[in-house]
Amino acid sequence: MRIIQCLHQDRPRAALVESETTVRLLEADTYALARRAIADGRSLGEVVEAALTETRLDYQQLIDEARLLPPLTHPDPAHCLVTGTGLTHLGSADTRASMHAKTQADESELTDSMRMFKLGVEGGKPAAGETGAQPEWFYKGDGDCVVAPEAPLPVPAFAEDAGEEPELAGLFVIGDDGRPWRVGHAIGNEFSDHVTERFNYLWLAHSKLRHCSFGPELLIGELPEHLEGTSRIVRDGETLWEKPFLTGEANMAHSLANLEHHHFKYAGFRRPGDVHVHFFGTATLSFADGIQTRDGDRFEISLPAFGRTLRNPLAFDTEATDTPVHSL
C-alpha cells in the first residue's frame, strides 16, 4: 500500500495511490490517520481502508498545480525532527577504501570515517536482544527544512556545494506514551554540502544543515530487503549524470532496527505527538564523480517499489543574508 499527501480544498489530505494516474482521497491527513491507528490499536493499512472516500483525483494534475505535499507532515513544523545516519551502506567502503588505500593494512592509521564504517560492518546487525554498534548521526533541522516533491530545493548563498543523496527515509510518529511508531518509508533526497564536509569532517554538522525532500509516496508495510534504484541529474532537459544505487538491509552494514534504536534511545526524541523523518544513508553520490550542480538542475531519484520518482529542481540564492545578533 502506498499513499501520498496533497492539498485538497486548502487542507492537507492523504490519498491512496490506486494507479500511476489516479489517487483516492482519504478523509484526513497522514498524521491524523497515524494517530488514529495508534489510539485504536489497529494497523495503518486498516485505518486507511476505513478512511477511503469516493473522491478520486488526477495524480498528474496535483503535480501540475503544485498541490503535492510530503507524505507525512506535522501541523506544527517545529514538532517534526529531521535527522539521519551515515556510513551505513556496504557500498560506502568502495569510496572510503580508494581514498585511504595506503592505510588499510594498519588499524592505527585508519581515518575516523573508516573506523566508524568498520564498527558498523562488524557490529551493525546485532542478534535479537543485543545492542549493536551506534552509527554516525546528524541533525538536519525541523519540518521547515522539508521541501515538497517537485518543489525547488533552496541553496543558501554561503553554500560550497549542492549535492543529492539518494536514501531511504523512515517516517515515525511518537505515541502519547512516548513510544515510537513507524508509519512507513519513502524515497529521500537528504541533500548536503559535500565540499564543506570534505574540507574537515568536523564540519559535517554544518554540511547537513540544508533543506531536503522525501516522497512523493509513503510505502506502508514490510520493506523489501533489497532495493535497486536510479539517481540522475537533469540539466536543460538532458541527463547530465545517472547512476544506479542499492539500498535496503541486504545492502547495508547496519540493520534498520539498530539505526532506529540508536536514534530513539534518547528521551528527547520520544516526545509525545512528534513526527520524525530519519534518513538511513547512501553509497552513491554525483559529487564522487566530480559533478558540480548549478541553478535549475533537477534531481530525480527513483525506486520502483515506491511508485513515482522523487524530483526536485535546484534554486540557488544569490544574495547572502545578514543576520546580526542584537543585545537586549
DSSP 196-246: HHHH-GGGHHHHH-S-EEE-S-EEPSPPPS-EEEEEEEEETTEEEEEEEEE
Residue 100: per-residue pLDDT: 39
Q: Mean pLDDT over all residues of the chain?
A: 93
Residue 112: per-residue pLDDT: 80
pLDDT beyond 90 at 249: yes
Average pLDDT rounded to a whole number, residues 285-312 = 97
Model confidence pLDDT, tens digit, residues 150-204? 999 999 999 999 999 999 999 999 999 999 999 999 999 999 999 999 898 899 9
Average pLDDT rounded to a whole number, residues 84-103 = 64
Query: Which element (helix H / strand E) includes 128?
Result: none
pLDDT above 70 coverage of the chain, percent: 95
Residue 108: per-residue pLDDT: 57
Report the candidate in 260, 246, 249, 273 with the shortest Cα–Cα distance to residue 83: 260
Among the listed ranges 165-169, 254-258, 318-322, which one has the minimum average pLDDT value? 318-322
Among the listed ranges 65-79, 91-105, 290-304, which one has the minimum average pLDDT value? 91-105
State the helix-helix crossing angle for 112-123 and 92-99, rounded to 10 degrees: 140
Average pLDDT rounded to a whole number, residues 214-223 = 97
Q: What residues pair up with 173 in beta bridges, in sequence order?
A: 181, 275
Residue 105: per-residue pLDDT: 44
Residue 117: per-residue pLDDT: 83
Higher pLDDT residue, 70 or 108?
A: 70
Residue 208: per-residue pLDDT: 97
pLDDT beyond 60 at 101: no
Residue 139's pLDDT band, with cuts at 50, 70 and 90, is: very high
Q: Do 37 and 51 touch, CB atoms closer than 8 A? A: no
Among the listed ranges 11-25, 62-76, 85-99, 310-324, which one has the minimum average pLDDT value? 85-99
CB hemisphere CA count around 132 (13 angstroms):
26
Among the listed ranges 92-106, 158-172, 194-208, 260-274, which one has the minimum average pLDDT value? 92-106
pLDDT beyond 70 at 103: no
- pTM confidence score: 0.94
Average pLDDT rounded to a whole number, residues 47-69 = 98
Residue 94's pLDDT band, with cuts at 50, 70 and 90, is: low
Higher pLDDT residue, 101 or 64?
A: 64
Q: Do 214 and 191 touch, CB atoms closer than 8 A? A: no
139-157: burial string, b at 16+ Cβ within 10 Å, e else: ebbbbebbbbbbbbbbbee
Residue 218: per-residue pLDDT: 98
pLDDT beyond 90 at 295: yes
Q: Is 113 helix (H, G, I), strand (E, B) or coil?
A: helix
Among the listed ranges 120-129, 210-219, 308-317, which one has the minimum average pLDDT value? 120-129
Residue 109's pLDDT band, with cuts at 50, 70 and 90, is: low
Residue 95: per-residue pLDDT: 54
Return all residues near 295 (Cβ < 8 A) that are at least 6 apart: 155, 314, 315, 316
The separation between CA 206 and the C-alpha centre of its own chain, rounded to angstroms, equals 18
